[in-house]
Structure 1
Amino acid sequence: MTWIDYDVSLVDDIAARLDLRAPNASAVRAVAEAIADGDGREVVCDLATGVGKTYILAGLVDYLAAQGVRNILVVTPGTTIQDKTVANFTPGHAKFVTGSDVEPLVITSENFSRGQVGDALHDDTVTKLFVFNVQQLIRPSDKTSRRVRARDEFIGTGLYQHLQQVEDLVVIADEHHVYSSRAKSFNQAIEDLGARAVVGLTATPAPGVKPIFQYSLAEAIADGFVKIPVIVYRPDGRKDESTVLADACHLLRIKDAAWSAWAEAQGRSPVHPVLFVVCRDIPDAERVANRLTADDMFPDEGQVLTVTSQSSDTALRALAEVEEADSPVRVVVSVNKLKEGWDVKNIGVIVGLRALASETLTEQVLGRGLRLPYGRRVGTPMVDTVDLVAHESYRQLLANKDALLQQVLPADGGDLDKDRPQPAPVASQPSSGDEQQILTFTSRPRVIGDDLVDGSPLLHVESFDAVMAQGKRDTKAVATLRAKVPGAPTIRFPRREREVLPVRFSFSYIDNAAARSEGAAYRHEFKVPLVRQAVDAQRGLDNKVGTVVTAAESVDATQKFISISELRNDLFGRIWNSGYVEETLAESRAAERVVREFLAGAGVTAEDQEHEWGELRAAQAAVALGKLVKIAYDTRKLQPTYAFRPVDVPTVPRRPCPRTS
């Protein structure tokens, strides 16, 4: 056959019928123009995950069929995307793409040996859409692959050989980047087919590939086609696994309420958000799944779904139905099986418990949550965002996609909360002449008795010239000492010396008013915020995309609670183990009194045994009580004491006795 001409008006018509988004229409247009020569060239389109590569595929099939192409082969990386692609071209299926003028005959490894298919293969009026995964094309040792290449009575030859013989074969490789690891065998299989054109669709092109069309994640966010990623972290620095999972579940419940409220107000069917947890390996995934079924998380049957390479068909079916309204699944725990092909719109929260160092893995995992639950931005932040609970380095998590994230984050990629307390520098010492200034870092001043005692020097920062000048001054100031006359006797005198020592400390020095006053600051529960930062993108007047980080509405994090009896024991232990007092019965009772009065100031009575305190409130209360005791210890009164200490004093040497001859 003569090859097809580029028809821009046909592309525009298809874009209107399929209601293609602008970037998808542009991608179809770029491919149609690039393959017009039909010389077997390979072209790649790079589009952000969540933009809608499915519609680009449908648009290309419609365009090729309208141009007279009757043999189109779609290659998928595995059965997950293969099944999804078949569903996209199956009328009546929930994922069927409507609007096409052509209804191709879908041919797979399961149905190609039927008589109806055999007849259609030789019918030039029927558009054939072959959907195979890459293993069925490049592994002759595989049973299915042998079937594809073996002679079939209805076809008259092997299916693979039939594809080699047709003159208008176009190959479309979905998730094109996956084939880079097996490029030699894949390219050989495609080359042997003699296709007129090969089109790759991907969100993460392999290194060295130069796409003919690109649409970045930044552009998708700026144009409102996907959710806005929100990085969630805790200012208190806690990042243990239990806290991360508890916070993620807490966020999911908040999102669920927001999604349902919006749907009810708009008269729409509710969509329930799902938590997506990525683990390091299969044992880790199973352990995390067991933790997530605890009573304080998602204990009901079917709420937590684990999907790995060892998952059953039942689990895979549950995964495929996770966005259905009657699905019980609220958490999906996986290793990496879901990197491609799991296209659902209801991922609300993502937790990465494995290292997401790979650029491809990071964006593919992030892509699971980018699709909008109601097909568009609705103006409600909790609905229009996907939360990434990154209690570790969120900068490292997002620094993997250069086009978006290097505009958002500083180049050093440091952690968010690396500020550490530093000694405050005092004013530089005055200098004279050409001496350099001296910078001194000191500790904080203390109050002892009625006096304010200056802080002690912690560190000096001095120039070399300043050190030398100080050395000269010290040399001049040294006193001239005379040596003791050799052999001179010493005499020992008692010398009365005065020494100021603090009195012995007692908890009884802390009065009730001071303890109550300190405890009053802890009358109310302390909330730990989950800080949410939205990574948004906007187009400027020059149509260039820039990204901004804006503060999203924060929510309260989860925390553990302890009983009042545990709290009393913790507070007592904090001051009793300080080492400031002798361990006597009187001091024990005094310590109990201090704790009792401190709690009274916080609104806890002696009879109160039912209330609970959050662990953050309890921890900070213990620190405050410890500081109260330490201040009392440091500021206790001083009293002079006297003691006699022996001092050896040289005496005038006695005249030596005359020697006798």
Structure 2
Amino acid sequence: MGELRFQADLLGEVAHRLDLREPNRKAIESVILRASDHYDVQESTDPFECIVDSATGVGKTYVMAGLMEYLAGAESPARNFLLLAPGRTIRGKSVQNFTPGNPKSLRPVMRSDPYVVTADNFNEPATRVAMDDARVTKLYIFTVQALTTSTGEGRATHVHSENLGASFFERLARLNDLVILADEHHCYRGPAFSRTLTDLKPELVVGLTATPVRADEDLIAFRYPLAAAIADELVKTPVMVARRDDRTDTETKLLDGVNLLRYKGAAADAYCTEHDLPPVNPVMLVIAGSIEEAREYQDVLDSSSFDAGAWVGKTLLVHSKLRGDEKEKALADLQAVEEPDSPVRIIISIGMLKEGWDVKNVYVIASMRASVSTVLTEQTLGRGMRLPFGRYTQVEFLDTLEVLAHEKYGDLLKKRSVLNEAFIDYGTYAQLRRAADGSLEVRQTAIPAPGPVIPAPRPSEPAQTGEPAISEGFLLSPELGDLKSAPGSAAATPNVKIVDQESRARQARKDAQSDTIIEYPPLPDREPIVIPRLMSVSQPTTVSLNDIDPEDYGPFQRLGRALATEHSDDLRRTKLSASHNWQKAQVRAETARDSIKAALPLDIPLSETRKALIRRVMSAKDVPNRKNELGAAERIVDCVIEAMGDEAQELLSAFVEVCGQRLARQISKTLRDFNPTQITYTDDVEWLAIDKTRKAQRKQEAGHADGTFDKALAFNGWQKNLYSHAWFDSTPEFQAAGLIDSSSSVVVWARLHNNDVPIQWTTDGRNYNPDFVVIEEIDGKRFGWLVETKSDKDMPTAEVQAKRRAAKKWANTANSSPQVQGVTWKYLLAGEQDVEDAAGLWGRLKEFCG
């Protein structure tokens, strides 16, 4: 038996860089552990094949990217990856995901920098060069049809190529490190695919799917079912809507759907307006049973007599009999539905939207003839599960997917147990366990759900209300551990509902109530707030001195103290002495007992030796030669000088060269050991005024003296707020605003909204927006604070800490820029307990967190 090989640190670094959701990190870990157990422990020589069964919308593309990054960065790296797609649309989407410059590309965060090989370039000389270079990571992206047959679409990959010296398929088959990533793995059943795997002789095959076939159950290395994704708020929560009466005519069902869609649109418009986001247009997916039915539905919707003609020209019809190019074009056209200027609001489909379509703005699914249980068991439900805003908005109506059922409401309630079976309610993953002999072994662990996905109605309420009880927990056995960190896992239950159409429509009207939008311009009597805007660029291999936070200057303080101790004013004398034992003489060195007072003929001003040390820092290895590094170099040198104490001038006059050498070595070591944020800044600085007019539909509250918080209210009564009103997402934010506003040192502050002060914290362009900006004045000096409040449970998470590092680097860089004068910028991250313990005092909160 061999030894297990798993690099936990490497996976941690990859997960941080790709900002992986916890289920996706766990999926990669499970695959690596199972593969290592297969090859390294069991010492099997057969190719290892496994499946990642992950709910639609959780991020299979990130799993593929993470596997590539891990395997390409391992001690024995893999350099050849084949991504198989079931059709040309999915293949095209995959190419976009891994092509530099594409808005959806993951390349900026991929250190492996794969050379993408497709059907369009595999026969080019440049591809031959890349394939021959063992140092280059290659990603081959092909449809399964292009490789499983030597005729038709696959002919080109099987014929001899002069450039490659063989057929492309033969070149792949010769590779000894080929890793196959089979997207939508359930599509590849049959002897042709099995024969292709046999011929290619891959090292590893990883299938990715949300709906594995039953025969492949033994291959599943990791399962994260839809029910878990709902519980963890990674996808929308389905709400199954049925009518109380017996009306099942086409017009009634379509009218139910468009009414809910209209309310979804109103709620989305309000949310986007308030948060200054691009518009999101909710769409409805109508599932028909036949082409004839689909055309009937389109005729109704396009009629001026239906809903006063509100949906004329806003429908798109696709059907299951489309084949070849026509089908691929239809799927490609569907991608545009997500664009803000798309006119489409209703898509009518006949069972073809099961994969390859991953837009995020489907908010209503109407199953016109099929039972809701059929819809839930198909991938059709997955078409509406993705989150258009990337995470839960905490506006319930925008975080749910309406599923209009064909059944009556009462019948649907009776089928609750059957519907629960539609949701796979257990997960599985591979984990390390220590055996009795102390060795590590891989165990496959299954996690059952402790309660139903769709709970029974509360006993205290009539069954017809349709309100489900909240179960105790879901997919959160203590053994699962890491999966608990997902957003919704505290409650640990998916709040899947069965409701009647009348109740849902009534609630929808309330949630999407179109109150007058109130505008809040900055108050004219308040001092304006202007913030430096730093131009960020992604440089994955560059580490800046500004990455080192002043709070982490301990090594430089210790260096300064050591220099002061070692270089005293005595010149140490070393003498040599000898001894012998009549067979062998020994010479040894020892410190002389007497000493000679050192003569210090130089009396160099401290300002001059300080400049010499700064020059030495700027010339140290790994320090970028850029203007914005200078401020950080000055801070580090001042830290060293301060640690040297009162004799710093005298010591540096005599030993500045030695001190410079030691400091440069420490700088290089710190930069090498530092985990970079991968974001740096140009030398250009723009100025960003907080002067946007705020817009909201919230009710106004005249004051906030009693300290009662309500998320739906816009609060007035501020003394130093830039705006007359402010609204908040949580109680700690509200409390923090109160203590900031009451501080005598604060000049002006503002609750920041989306894109007010965007701080880029990942190389794929994701921005972080703090909660507050605060300008205060102390003893004539101005300080600018960016303030963030978080719940205590979120404080230690990787995302919060990564954002903290990015914000501190932003502040360090701003303070280093010669263009930023008059204000020293700082960042403060406060937990809810910090805010509570501050007892209304801004100064105390700074002491706790600043």
TM superposition shift of 1:110: 2.3
Alignment of 1:200-349 (within 5 A): 200-208=207-215, 209-210=217-218, 211-295=220-304, 296=306, 302-308=313-319, 309=322, 311=326, 315-349=330-364
Aligned residue in 2 for 1:111? 121
Cα deviation, residue 550, structure 1: 5.1
Moved more, 393-402 or 382-391: 393-402
Partner SS, residue 132 of structure 1:
strand
The residue type paired with residue 93 of structure 2 is K
* Structure 2 residue 376 is matched with structure 1 residue 376: no
Q: How has the CA–CA distance of structure 1 residues 132 and 312 changed in structure 2, closer, same or farther, with 3 Å as cutoff?
A: closer
1:378 Cα deviation from its structure 2 partner: 0.9
Amino acid at match of 2:213: A
Displacement of 1:132 in angstroms is 1.4
| Kept in 2: contact 1:171–1:199 (CA 8 A) | yes
Tell whether the 8 Å contact from 2:53 to 2:212 is kept in structure 1 after alignment. yes
CA distance in 1, matches of 2:376, 2:82: 26
- In the alignment, what sits opposite 2:30? 30
Q: 1:24 to 1:72 in 2, by over 3 A?
A: same
Q: 1:109-188 maps to which residues of 2 (within 5 A)?
A: 109-142=119-152, 144-180=153-189, 182=190, 184-188=191-195
Deviation of 1:261 (Å): 0.6
Aligned to 2:423: 401
**1:353 CA displacement:** 2.8
> Residues of 2 paired with 1:250 and 1:65: CA distance?
51
The unaligned stretches of length 5 or more in structure 1 are 412-416, 420-530, 559-661
**What is aligned with 2:667?**
none
CA contact (8 A) 2:181 2:206 kept: yes
Cα 1:535/1:216, change in 2 over 3 Å: farther
1:538 shift after superposition: 6.8
Determine if contact 2:358/2:383 at 8 Å carries over to the other structure.
Answer: yes
Compute the displacement of 1:48 (Å).
1.2
Q: Which residue of structure 1 lines up, in the alignment, with residue 95 of structure 2? A: 86
Q: Mapping of 1:322-471 within 5 angstroms?
A: 322-355=337-370, 362-392=377-407, 394=412, 395=415, 399-403=421-425, 407-408=452-453
Relative distance call for 1:269 and 1:4 in structure 2 (3 A) is farther
* Aligned partner letter, 1:107: V
SS at match of 1:276: strand
Counterpart Cα distance in 2 of 1:236 and 1:354? 17
Mark the CA change 1:4 to 1:332 in structure 2 (over 3 Å): closer, same or farther.
farther
CA deviation map 1:290-312 (0-9, x unaligned): 22222235666752111232657
Alignment-mate amino acid for residue 151 of structure 1: H
Contact conserved, 1:230 with 1:532, CA < 8 A, in 2?
no
Deviation string, structure 1 residues 495-553 (Cα, Å, up to 9, x no partner): xxxxxxxxxxxxxxxxxxxxxxxxxxxxxxxxxxxx88689887468559555555777
Answer whether contact 1:222 1:538 (CA < 8 A) is retained: no
Q: Is the 8 A contact 1:538 1:547 kept in 2?
A: no
TM (norm. structure 1) is 0.61
Q: CA deviation at 1:399?
A: 4.3
Contact 1:88–1:96 (8 Å) recurs in 2: yes
Q: Is the 8 A contact 1:231 1:534 kept in 2?
A: no
Residues 222, 537 of structure 1: 8 Å contact kept: no
Render the CA deviation track for 1:141-182: whole Å, top value 9, x for unaligned: 32x2011111112111111111100111011111112223x2
For 2:455 and 2:24, how far apart are their aligned partners in 1?
A: 32
Q: In the alignment, what sits opposite 1:445?
A: none
Shift in Å, 1:391? 3.2
For residues 330 and 338 of structure 2, what CA distance do their matches in structure 1 show?
Answer: 14
Does the aligned pair in 1 maintain the 2:50–2:221 contact within 8 Å?
Answer: yes
**Post-superposition CA distance 1:557-593 (Å, at most 9, x none):** 99xxxxxxxxxxxxxxxxxxxxxxxxxxxxxxxxxxx
222 and 112 in structure 1: CA distance in 2 versus 1, 3 angstrom threshold: same
Letter in 2 for 1:339: K
Which structure exhibits the higher relative contact order, with contacts defined as CA atoms closer than 8 Å and separated by 6 or more residues?
Answer: 1
Tell which structure's C-alpha radius of gyration is larger. Answer: 1
Residue in 2 aligned with 1:586? Answer: none
Deviates more, 1:235-244 or 1:219-228: 235-244
Q: Kindly tell me: are residues 312 and 28 of structure 1, through their superposed partners in 2, closer, same or farther at Cα, counting changes over 3 Å?
A: closer
1:345 corresponds to which letter in structure 2?
K
Query: 1:5–1:172: structure 2 CA closer, same or farther, 3 Å change rule?
Result: same
Deviation at 1:234, TM superposition (A): 1.2
Match of 1:322, SS state, is: helix
Task: Report 1:601-612 matches (<5 A).
Answer: none
Instruction: Output the CA distance in 2 between the equivalents of 1:373 and 1:21.
Output: 17
Deviation at 1:269, TM superposition (A): 1.5
| 1:104 shift after superposition | 1.1
Name the counterpart of 1:14: 14
**Does the 8 Å CA contact 2:239/2:498 hold for their aligned counterparts?**
no
Whichever residue aligns with residue 283 of structure 1, its letter is: E
After TM superposition, the structure 1 stretch with the greater mean CA deviation from structure 2, 213-222 or 155-164, is 213-222
Q: Which stretch of structure 1 is more off in the superposition, 269-278 or 399-408?
A: 399-408
- Is contact 1:274-1:330 (8 Å) kept? yes
Taking the aligned partners of 1:284 and 1:115, their CA distance within structure 2 comes to 52
**SS in structure 1 of the partner of residue 188 of structure 2:** helix
Is 2:27–2:52's contact at 8 Å kept on the other side of the alignment? yes
8 A contact 1:271–1:373 mirrored in 2: yes
The answer on whether the counterparts of 1:399 and 1:409 sit within 8 Å (CA) in structure 2 is no
Cα distance per residue 1:193-221 (max 9 Å; x no partner) = 00001111111221132311111212111
- What CA deviation, in whole Å up to 9, does each residue of 1:369-405 have, x standing for no partner? 1111100011111100000011326446664234289
How much has 1:317 moved relative to structure 2?
A: 4.0
Matched to 2:452, the amino acid is: Q
Deviation at 1:349, TM superposition (A): 0.2
- Secondary structure of the residue aligned to 2:62 is helix
CA contact (8 A) 1:28 1:59 kept: yes
| 1:94 positional shift | 2.5
How far apart are the structure 1 equivalents of 2:140 and 2:222? Answer: 25
Q: Which residue of 1 aligns with 2:505?
A: 555
- Residues of 2 paired with 1:408 and 1:347: CA distance? 22
Shift of 1:239: 2.1
Bigger CA drift: 304-313 or 109-118? 304-313
Per the alignment, residue 191 of structure 1 pairs with: 198
Q: Residues of 1 paired with 2:470 and 2:286: CA distance?
A: 23
Change (3 A) 1:84 1:536: farther
The CA distance in 2 between the partners of 1:313 and 1:172, in whole Å, is: 21
Q: Is the 8 A contact 1:119 1:155 kept in 2?
A: no
Shift in alpha-carbon separation, 1:272–1:23, aligned structure 2, 3 A: same
Q: Which amino acid aligns with 1:287?
A: E
Residue 77 (str. 1) matches residue 65 (str. 2): no
Q: What amino acid is the match of 2:377?
A: T
Give the match for residue 845 of structure 2.
none
Identity of aligned residues (%): 39
Report if the CA contact (8 A) 2:268-2:281 is conserved.
Answer: yes
Residue 602 of structure 2 is matched in structure 1 by: none
Rate the CA distance shift 1:533–1:285 in 2: closer, same or farther, 3 A.
Answer: farther
Relative distance call for 1:63 and 1:402 in structure 2 (3 A) is closer
Q: What does residue range 578-657 of structure 1 map to in structure 2 within 5 Å?
A: none
Q: Name the residue aligned to 2:733.
A: none
Residue 635 of structure 1 corresponds to none
- Asked if 2 retains the 8 angstrom alpha-carbon contact of 1:80 and 1:341, the reply is yes
